[in-house]
């Protein structure tokens, strides 16, 4: 049995919704060697949860298994040519710190993903995205360890099957793969991505801006995010709580005919992503509460813990929102964070 694990570990500060639950067993891993040394013991557990920074995880009850908390660190330039660099980043690095390092080193592409909470290791899991950019566009390889066999496995970008907030790492049959590092391919030349209208307008409307740099884009994204999203350290939350539904052209047209103002975004394959937050807002649910859990006052897509919120209150709130959206818009919302 592992001797560096902890029993009855409080998880309150290890997930951003801050429910006061515990894990039967917990181990913190600080380097890859340590992980390999502990593999045979780890694989003995029937229930295992890999934890990064808990910003897309909501522990609803005590976890009757082992939480493996990855805190491995390291950012290494592994190759470069005239156009690109390849950078290997350990899973436990903080995502936003990595984005800052990239900008300082003039490795470009990730600026629009500034300030997304969480770890580098979790970024491929749900293919994080914001302001018109998805991380999949910059991932070359994902390195994993198979906890059952101890084998090191490298998955190419194509093999990860990245989609909107999805990848093979979300599938139950791949839960034996623990991501140890990610290799990014980043540009040496800065080409701003202003495909997201809100970001483009924000930059355009500022008369003081004379040139668009990566620092500037990152700073604008930071400002936009801070205006819209509550800081989980101040108000417990897990970011966007529901996926933006993706509709085929026919279903989208029916919805658009009924609700002319619904914000939607055309995807490449004749599908449309529609704004879940807009629907919740239209139902007048901003600020709505069940006990100490509620819809955020200014961002309808974010559910918050006002302090003493409990899992049963969250589950009731989810059910009320999903029912209301289904009745009014005929759409079944799905929850984005992992409910554990």
Q: Which stretch, 22-30, 46-54, 191-199, 241-249, contacts ligand FAD (CB under 6 A)?
A: 46-54
CA-CA distance, 5 to 106, in Å (whole number)?
40
| Residue 185 among the catalytic residues | no
Which region among 38-46, 197-205, 236-244, 281-289 touches ligand FAD (by CB under 6 A)?
236-244
Nearer of residues 186 and 229 to ligand FAD, judged by Cβ? 229
* Closest distance to ligand FAD from the beta carbon of 284 (Å): 23
Strand 177-187 and strand 84-90: pairing?
antiparallel
Under the binding rule (CB under 6 A), the answer on residue 239 touching ligand FAD is: yes
Minimum CB–partner distance for residue 139 and ligand FAD (Å): 13
Q: Is 236 in the site for ligand FAD (CB under 6 A)?
A: no
End-to-end CA distance of the chain, in Å? 25
Position among 42, 85, 103, 118 found at the interface with ligand FAD (CB under 6 A) = 118
Assess whether 238 carries a catalytic annotation: no
- Determine the size of the site formed for ligand FAD (CB under 6 A): 33
Q: Kind of pairing, strands 293-295 and 271-274?
A: unpaired
Q: What angle do CA 119, 202, 106 make, to 5 degrees?
A: 50
CA 194 to chain centre: 21
Looking at the DSSP assignment, which residues form a beta bridge with residue 197? Answer: none
Does 277 participate in binding ligand FAD (rule CB under 6 A)?
no
What does the chain come to in residues? 340
Q: Which of 53, 240, 264, 313 is catalytic?
A: 240
Q: Does 53 bind ligand FAD (CB under 6 A)?
A: yes
Give CA–CA dist 90/76, Å, rounded. Answer: 9
Residue 264 falls in the annotated catalytic set? no
Which position among 19, 38, 85, 121 is part of the footprint of ligand FAD (CB under 6 A)? 121
**259, 252 contact by CB (below 8 A):** no
Backbone angles phi, psi at 9, to 5 degrees: -75, 120
Residue 169 within binding range of ligand FAD, rule CB under 6 A: yes
Q: Which of 105, 157, 213, 338 binds ligand FAD (CB under 6 A)?
A: 338
H or E segment to which residue 221 belongs: helix 214-228
Given 84, 119, 165, 218, which residue is catalytic?
165
Classify strands 129-130 and 133-134 as parallel, antiparallel or unpaired. antiparallel
Helix 95-105 and helix 214-228, axial crossing angle in degrees, nearest 10: 160
Q: Does 232 bind ligand FAD (CB under 6 A)?
A: yes
Contact by Cβ (8 Å): 39, 145: yes
For the bound state, the minimum distance from the C-beta of residue 129 to ligand FAD, rounded and expressed in Å, comes to 5
Give the residue numbers annotated as catalytic, written as ranges: 165, 240, 336
Residues in the site for ligand FAD, rule: CB under 6 A? 16, 49-57, 70, 91, 116-119, 121-123, 125-126, 128-130, 169, 178-179, 229, 232, 237-239, 338
């Amino acid at each position: 049995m592992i001797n560096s694990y902890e029993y009855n570990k409080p998880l309150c500060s290890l997930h951003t919704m801050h429910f006061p639950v515990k894990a039967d067993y917990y181990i913190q891993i600080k380097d890859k060697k340590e992980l390999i040394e502990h593999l045979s013991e780890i694989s003995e557990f029937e229930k295992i949860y890999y934890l990064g920074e808990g910003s897309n995880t909501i522990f609803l009850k005590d976890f009757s298994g082992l939480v493996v908390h990855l805190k491995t660190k390291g950012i290494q330039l592994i190759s470069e040519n005239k156009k690109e660099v390849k950078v290997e980043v350990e899973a436990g690095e903080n995502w936003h710190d990595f984005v800052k390092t990239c900008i300082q080193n003039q490795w470009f592409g990730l600026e629009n993903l500034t300030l997304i909470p969480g770890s580098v290791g979790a970024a491929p899991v749900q293919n994080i995205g914001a302001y018109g950019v998805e991380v999949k566009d910059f991932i070359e390889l994902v390195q994993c360890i198979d906890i059952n066999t101890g084998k090191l496995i490298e998955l190419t970008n194509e093999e990860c099957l990245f989609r909107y907030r999805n990848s093979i790492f979300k599938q139950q049959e791949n839960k034996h793969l623990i991501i140890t590092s990610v290799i990014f391919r980043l540009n040496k030349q800065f080409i701003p991505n202003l495909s997201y209208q809100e970001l483009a307008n924000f930059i355009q409307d500022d008369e003081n801006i004379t040139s668009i740099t990566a620092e500037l884009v990152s700073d604008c994204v930071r400002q936009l995010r801070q205006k819209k999203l509550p800081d989980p350290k101040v108000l417990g939350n897990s970011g966007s709580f529901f996926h933006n539904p993706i509709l085929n052209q026919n279903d989208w047209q029916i919805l658009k005919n009924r609700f002319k103002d619904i914000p939607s975004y055309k995807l490449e394959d004749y599908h449309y992503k529609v704004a879940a937050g807009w629907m919740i807002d239209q139902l007048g649910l901003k600020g709505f509460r069940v006990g100490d859990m509620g819809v955020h006052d200014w961002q309808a897509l974010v559910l918050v813990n006002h302090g003493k919120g409990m899992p049963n209150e969250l589950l009731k709130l989810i059910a009320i929102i999903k029912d209301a959206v289904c009745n009014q818009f005929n759409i079944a919302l799905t929850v984005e964070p992992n409910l554990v």
